[in-house]
Structure 1
Amino acid sequence: MHDGTFHTIGDLARHTGLTVKTVRSWSDRGIVVPAGRSAAGYRLYDARALARLELVRTLRDLGLDLATIRKVVDRELTLPEVAAAHAEALAAQIRVLHLRRAVLTTVAEHRATPEEMDRLNRLAMLTAEERNRVIEGFLDAVLGGLTDPAVAGVRRTLTPELPDDPTPEQLRAWVELAGLAEDEAFRARLRALAEDLTARRARAGDGLPRRDLVAVVRDRVGPAVAAGVDPLSAGAEPVVAALTAGCAEALGAADDGVLSGRLPALLAAADDPRRERYATLLATVNGWPAPESAAPELAWSLKALAARRAGAVDPAGTAVTSGGGGAPTRGQTG
C-alpha cells in the first residue's frame, strides 16, 4: 500500500535524517526493501518502506541490534516482546554503570590507591549473597561469641540491606561501607568496645539493656556544647559530674571508678571517625534518617576529662596555670 509516490535513497535519507550510506547499507541487508527500480537502475522505495525505515531508525536509537530489528520488522518477533527484553537488558547495564560510578566516586573522594580501587570494584560487583557474606563476616568478627542477650539486637542495627533497586547514593554508600567492614583495624576497635560493654553488663548482673555511651554523652554534654561552655572552665564542672554519673550508670560501674578508669579510653574509641562514618553510610543504604553527629560532644568530653585527670583543673573547676616564675598558680577560666 502506497500513495503512488516513490523515493530514492537520497529522499529517504532526507526524510529520516539518516545518511545515504546507512540507508543503502540497511537496504543491502534486506531490512528496507525497494519497491522497484528507476529506468536508470536506481532503487525506489514506497511509503511503506519509508515508514519501515522510521521504525528501524527508532529501534536503533534505542540500542537494538540489526539482527533483532529485522526480526521485528519481518514480524518474526513482536515489538512488545523485544521492548520488554531490551528494557531488562538496559536496566542491567544501568545498574553496572551506577556501580562503576560509585566506585570511581569513592576512589576520587578518598584518594584511593590502585590496590584499594581494585578492592572497591570487587565489593561493588558482589551479588546479594556475596554482600551478605561480607557483612556476616564483619559482624561475626565484631560480635561473634558474645553471649549478652542484647547482641542480637545490636547485630540487626548494624546490618545494611541494599534494596533491589538502589539509588546511586545507596550504591556509593554500600561500596564505602563494605570497604570499612573489611578494615581489620576497624573490626578490632569495635570488637574491643563490644567486649568491654558485655563484660561490664555481666558484672552488673541485672541483665537489663544499658544506654549506649554516645547517647549518654550527647544528652549530658550537648547543651553545654551548644551554649559554648569551655570544658576547662568552672561552668563545665556540673556537666562533667553529670557525664561521669550517666556513663557510670550506662556501664554498670561505680561512679567514683569511672573517671579514673576506662571512661576516657572508651570515649576515645567511640570518637573514632570510622564508627560515625559507618553509622552514616548504614543509614543511607537502609534508607534511615541520617544519624546526628556526636563528634563535638565527644571532643568536649575528652578534653574535659583529660584536663581533670592531669590535674589541670581542681575539683572546684579552677584551672591550674603557670605563673611568671613557672610555679603553679590557680586562676578562674571561663
Structure 2
Amino acid sequence: MDHSIGEIALRAGVTVKAVRYYSDLGLLDSWRAPPGHRRYDEDAVGRLELIRRLRALGIDLPTVRAVLTGERTLSDVATARAEALAVQIRTLQLRQAVLRVVAQRPEEIHQMSDFTEFDDDRQALVTDFLDAVIGDDPELRGIRQTLTPELPDDAADHQVCAWLELAQMLPDAAFRATVRQMVADWRSDWRADDLRPGVVAALRQRVGPALAAAIDPASPEARAMVDEITADYARQLGKPADHELRTRLSSLLETAGDPRWFRYLRLLAAVNGWQDPEPLQPIYDWTRTALRHAG
C-alpha cells in the first residue's frame, strides 16, 4: 500500500514540508507517480515516525541517519543522549543558582563568571591547589579527599557563594604556603601526632573550660594546665617536655590556627553540605599565649 505525501505527513504528525525535507535528505524513500507526485510505502510511515520522535528528543540529523542505516543502535544513541542531557542539566542547575546569587549581589558578577561554567574548570582549580599543597603522596590520599570541595549539581545559593569565595582563596600564594607548612609538619619526624584528633580533643576538653571561665593565660592556674598539656604531648611523641617541645607545639598551633585555614574549612563544609566545623582558633591562641608565659 502506498501513500501520498499528505497522508504520510498526517499519519506521522508532521508537516508536508518536513516530509519533503527528510525525503530530499535521503532519509525517506519515495517514488514518483504520474503526474510526478511523491508516493511512500508503509515502511516510510514507520521511519518518519521514528525520525519525528528522535528529533523531538534532540537527536541531530546525522545521528538519525546513522540509526536508520544501522550504523548505530537506537540503544547506544539513547544512552549517549541521556548522558549529554545529564551534563546540560547540571550546567543549567548551576547557572540557575548563580543567577539567583547575581540577582542578590550584582556587584560580584565578574567573580561569578570565572569558575561556574564548566565542571572541568572547577576541578582543574581544585586539583592545582591540592597538587601544590599536598601532592600525590599515597599516605595523604585520605586527607586530600577530605579537603576536596565538590559543588553539587543542585547547589543552593549559599553553596554557590561559598564556592565563589573558595575559588578566590585557592590560588592565593600566602594561603598555599600555610597549608604546605601544615603538610610539612605532618611529614616531619614529629609526624604531627600533636594535632591529630585525639590531641585536639584533649586541648578542647582542657582549654575550652578555661576560655569559658575567662582564665588569664598568664595566670598560675594556666601555667599548671600548660604543664599538663605539655607532659601529655611529650608522652605521645616519646620526647622530653622541654623548651624545644613547647616551641614546636606553639609553632604547630600557630599554623593550625591561621584564620584563613579555618575559613577554608568552613567554606569547604558549606560547599560539600557538611556540618559547620567548630572554631578552634580561640583554643589554639589561648594555649599559645599560655605556653609563651610559661616559658
1:255-294 matches, within 5 Å, as: 266-267=252-253, 269-272=255-258, 274-276=260-262, 290=274, 293-294=277-278
The aligned runs of 1:165-314 (5 Å cut-off) are: 168=153, 180-194=169-183, 210-212=193-195, 215-221=198-204, 230-232=212-214, 245-246=228-229, 249-250=232-233, 254=241, 266-267=252-253, 269-272=255-258, 274-276=260-262, 290=274, 293-295=277-279, 297-299=280-282, 302=285
How far apart, in 2, do the equivalents of 1:99 and 1:48 lie? Answer: 40
What SS does structure 1 have at the residue aligned with 2:55?
A: helix
Structure 1: how far apart are the matches of 2:96 and 2:240? 47
Structure-1 residue corresponding to 2:17: 21
Match of 1:69 among 60, 64, 67: 64
Q: Report the Cα offset of residue 55 of structure 1.
A: 0.8
Which string of whole-angstrom CA distances, capped at 9 and with x for unpartnered residues, describes residues 131-157 of structure 1? 7666333325xx9xxxxxxx873x333
5+ unaligned residues in a row in structure 2: which ranges?
none
Paired residue for 2:52?
57
Q: Given the superposition, is the C-alpha separation of residues 275 and 97 from structure 1 closer, same or farther in structure 2, using an over 3 Å criterion?
A: farther
Question: SS in structure 2 opposite 1:63?
Answer: coil
Q: Distance in 2 between matches of 1:62 and 1:189?
A: 51
Matches within 5 A, 1:103-182: 114=110, 117-118=113-114, 124-125=120-121, 135-139=130-134, 153=139, 155-160=140-145, 168=153, 180-182=169-171
Judged with a 3 Å threshold, the aligned counterparts in structure 2 of structure 1 residues 9 and 84 are, in CA distance, closer, same or farther, namely: same
* Post-superposition CA distance 1:83-135 (Å, at most 9, x none): 4266347636744774686699689599867478546768834898x976663
User: What TM-score do you get using the length of structure 1 for normalisation?
Assistant: 0.53
Give, in whole Å, the separation in 2 of the partners of 1:247 and 1:7. 95
- CA 1:67–1:102: 2 relative to 1, 3 Å: closer
Q: Give how far 1:256 is off.
A: 8.2
Matches of 1:184 and 1:71, distance apart in 2: 52
Q: CA deviation at 1:300?
A: 5.1
Which structure dedicates a bigger proportion of its chain to helix? 2
How far does the alpha carbon of each residue in 1:174-224 deviate from its partner, in whole angstroms, 9 at most, with x for none? 9987865533121111234455677xx75xxxx676242665333442598
Q: In the TM superposition, what is the alpha-carbon distance from 1:245 to its structure 2 partner?
A: 3.5
Provide the C-alpha distance between the structure 2 equivalents of 1:263 and 1:209, rounded to a whole number of angstroms. 9
Contact 1:220 1:243 survives alignment (8 Å): no
Report the TM-score when normalising by structure 2: 0.58
- Identical aligned residues as a percent: 24
Number of residues of Structure 1 aligned to a counterpart in Structure 2 = 276
- Counterpart of 2:6 in structure 1 is 9
Change (3 A) 1:122 1:7: closer
- Name the SS of the counterpart of 1:158 in structure 2: helix
1:185 alignment partner AA: A
